């Protein structure tokens, strides 16, 4: 997991922060370490940017071929459940990307992990819609 320079991030003063940490990270650490590093990242963001809205994006699935080549990818749903719980615990937004994959034929790149360019407009539209819905709901409760 790459931890970015918090000072660089803070200098930009973003209103919204979207965190998407990919499937490669679950190959190099166990779930406990992965979640601890994720929590550390969120804590650092909250410390430097207490007014920014933090969004955790689910780990995207991989193709069947990639799943067959790398068994650790079978843990993606388990990690996503833990990310969802972490979001609840940390009081940040969780964005489930799975509806994109359920509702569309997603064009994977040749590695079966990354995506062809056709995916990204779907991704951005889903994140935008989900973020607007969530932030509207939170505002309505105040």
> Using one digit for the tens of pLDDT, what is the confidence trace for 92-120?
999 999 999 998 999 999 999 999 999 99
- Average pLDDT of the chain, as a whole number: 88
Contact 56, 83 (CB under 8 A): yes
Please tell me the pTM assigned to this model.
0.85
Whether pLDDT at 59 is above 90: yes
For residue 16, CA distances in Å to 4, 45, 88, 109 come to 16, 11, 17, 29
Q: How far apart are CA 15 and CA 50, in angstroms?
A: 10
pLDDT band for 142, please (50, 70, 90 cuts).
very low
In whole angstroms, what is the distance from residue 50 CA to residue 67 CA? 38
Q: Is residue 139 very low, low, confident or very high in pLDDT (cuts 50, 70, 90)? A: very low
């Amino acid at each position: 997991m790459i931890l970015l320079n918090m000072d660089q991030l803070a200098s930009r003063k973003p209103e919204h922060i979207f965190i998407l940490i990919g499937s490669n990270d679950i190959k190099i650490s166990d779930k406990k370490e992965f979640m601890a590093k994720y929590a550390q990242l969120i804590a650092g963001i909250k410390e430097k940017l207490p007014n920014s809205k933090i969004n955790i994006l689910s780990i995207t699935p991989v193709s069947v071929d990639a799943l067959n080549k790398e068994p650790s990818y079978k843990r993606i749903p388990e990690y996503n459940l833990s990310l969802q719980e972490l979001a609840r615990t940390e009081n940040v937004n969780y964005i489930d990307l799975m509806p994109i994959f359920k509702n569309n034929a997603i064009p994977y790149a040749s590695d079966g992990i990354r995506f062809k360019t056709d995916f990204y407009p779907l991704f951005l539209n889903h994140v935008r819609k989900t973020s607007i819905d969530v932030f509207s709901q939170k505002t309505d409760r105040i």
